[in-house]
Copies of this chain bind each other. A is one copy, B any other.
Amino acid sequence: MVRLFISGFGTVGQGLVDVLERRREFFDNKYGEQPVVVGVIDSKTAAVDQNGLDMKAIVERKVKERSVSSVTYTNSIEVMDSVDYDILIEVSPTDVKTGGTGLKNITHALEKGKDVITVNKGPLALKFQELIALAKKNGCKFRFEGSVGGAMPIINLCHENLNGEKITSIRGIFNGTCNYILSKMDNGQPFEQALKEAQQLGYAETDPTNDVEGYDAATKVVILANSVFHRNVTFKDVSITGITGITPDAIAQAASHNMVIRLIGEISDTRLEVSPRLIPIGHPLSIAGTLNIAQIDADLAGPITITGRGAGKIETASAILSDLISIMNVRL
């Protein structure tokens, strides 16, 4: 039996419960059993049951009462230690300044020899090499496909399918909000209007700084640098330029040369950069809309690009499912 502890029960945590429910037949056919959730916490409340929680009821309660149970806790570690689990699924909110509760929980699980799946960018951007070393030391699987590009399977693609390649660089669009705004600007909208539309559609937050200044994309650049290029860098090592300075004139100028402007993150052994760049129309990186994309330059295969939805409840949970299956394939 594979027992899960879910830390964080916002959109992604609830999405995961939905995804596990939708894959009941798949798990039955493939493993003859279902993964069981034995513990779940949100920021204040906790529910544990060694025999498995009724997650449908817990989602209903969370939606209605904003809590997973009537039991509040003070220390997440104590809750985690109160139950036997095999895999920690860490999906609490990202804190890129300190790593927050996510960093604490992941570290503790790895110290206890548990496998970990996360989409939490904070711990990965701040303490990647330390966490990898800890996982290795204790023989734990540590997977984080959903932390970059949501449903776009870039990390496992690099680690598994392209395992024999020397990857020389990755360039990509790692923030769907910026790409939506730039695509609208291609059609003649000024920045402020495109941003407002993105906010109305829920693609951009009320304070759009994190997206439009390139900070979110930079976090993904850090994770790819650490995980694919085996570097040891953090947010402050990235050279960052956002899209707020891009004028309709610049867009028109680009268009007159059959180009578009896209916010590109670039990672190599020597570069760490997020900046707006000119991309020829028809080039894979010229895509429009909210998609994420990454172009991986491999020494034998040549350029390989992958695109997918960079965000979304079910989409991000699907990346966790992919990591969960690969761990279950080894365990069962």
Contacts and interface: CB of A to CB of B under 8 A. Distances in A.
Contacts of A284: 284, 287, 291, 293, 307
A163 B282 contact: no
A252 interface: no
A162 B153 contact: yes
Interface in A243-283: 260, 281-283
Interface string A285-324: 0111101010000101111111111001011011101101
A161 B164 contact: no
A183 B315 contact: no
A314 B287 contact: no
A156 interface: yes
Number of chain copies forming the complex: 2
A325 B163 contact: yes
Contact of A161 (B157, B183, B282, B283): B157
A304 B307 contact: yes
Contacts of A165: 318
B305 A307 contact: yes
Interface string A139-155: 00000000000011100
Contacts of A304: 151-153, 306-308
A164 B309 contact: no
Contacts of A298: 151, 318
A302 B315 contact: yes
A162 B300 contact: no
B164 A23 contact: yes
Nearest to A23: B164
A22 interface: yes
A70 B288 CA distance: 57
Interface string A5-33: 00000000000000100110010000000
A304 B160 CA distance: 17
Given A164-B318, A286-B282, A318-B165, A302 B23 contact: no
A145 to B, nearest CB: 8
Contacts of A312: 302
Nearest to A186: B282
Contacts of A161: 153, 156-157, 160-161, 322
A91 to B, nearest CB: 16
Contact of A308 (B19, B152, B302): B302
Contacts of A153: 157, 161-162, 301, 304
Contact of A22 (B157, B293, B300): B300
What 6 pairs across the A-B complex have the smallest Cβ distances? A282-B288, A300-B318, A151-B301, A153-B161, A301-B318, A304-B308
30 contacts: A151-B301, A153-B161, A153-B162, A156-B160, A157-B161, A160-B161, A161-B161, A163-B325, A164-B318, A164-B322, A164-B325, A165-B318, A281-B281, A282-B287, A282-B289, A283-B287, A283-B288, A284-B284, A300-B315, A300-B321, A301-B308, A301-B309, A301-B315, A302-B312, A303-B307, A303-B308, A304-B306, A304-B307, A305-B308, A306-B306
